[in-house]
Amino acid sequence: MRIFLILLLFLQSTTYTHDELMGKIDPATHPDFIEISKEHASREGMFLRTEAYEAFCEMYTAASEAGHHLQIISATRSFAHQKRIWDGKWERTKYMGWPDGEKAVDIMLYSSMPGTSRHHWGTDMDLNALENSYFESGKGLALYTWLQQHADEYGYRQVYTSKENGRTGYEEEKWHWSYMPLATPMLEQYLREITYDDLNGFQGAGTSEELEVITKFVRGIE
């Protein structure tokens, strides 16, 4: 009976497609995604996985009752969207003459290579502001303190925390929150199935393996 129950749980677990893990989907047409209400977003046309959004809505209500305002300013990003961000930064004048590896490392302080971003999964969001300084004083600090105390009650966690304890990868992002009940199994599957050969189609892709992007950046969370 015990073996049967374990097998049943295994069969019920969700398996994500290669394209879902890599962001090569359209969230506007994917059945597991829903558009974020204007009430909760800085602009129209953003999407999350339905389960992640429903949990956010509960967190939004609780935060509002505590006197805080949550606003999603970025959510799901496709591979193509991330490629536009990445290639745009790659072409910046400041990087003229830089070796590809150094250029990629500098960009990856805060931006992901296409195919490696948690934003591909529909589980992650950026909240309120894209500067850590916003969350270090005034209403931003009050909101951040509330999130630290309560976000996990709704399944959310800040995954890019301070690197003082040895976390690798991206710099701290106090605005980036991940819905862990879905993001955790997606990360586990990503690490099992995605290889450096899959990371292609954008400028500097050839640096991904030498920089250990999967090990140090995709895996580099709190």
Residue ranges of the chain with per-residue pLDDT less than 50: 1-12
What's the burial of 84, exposed, middle or buried (CB within 10 Å: 0-12/13-18/19+)? middle
Q: Tell me which DSSP letter residue 152 carries.
A: G
pLDDT of 49-66, one tens digit each? 999 999 999 999 999 999
Q: Which of 135, 131, 176 is nearest to 158 (CA)?
A: 176
Residue 56, classified by CB atoms within 10 Å of its CB into exposed (0-12), middle (13-18) or buried (19+), is buried
pTM of the model: 0.92
Q: What pLDDT is stored for residue 74 in this prediction? A: 98
- 3-state SS, 71-122, equals CEEECCCCHHHHHHHHHHHHCCHHHCCCCHHHHHHHHCCCCCCCCCCHHHHC
pLDDT digits (tens, 9 = 90+) for 157-175: 999 999 999 999 999 999 9
Identify the structural domains of the chain with CATH numbers, from first to last. Answer: 15-218 (3.30.1380.10)
Identify the pLDDT of residue 3. 40
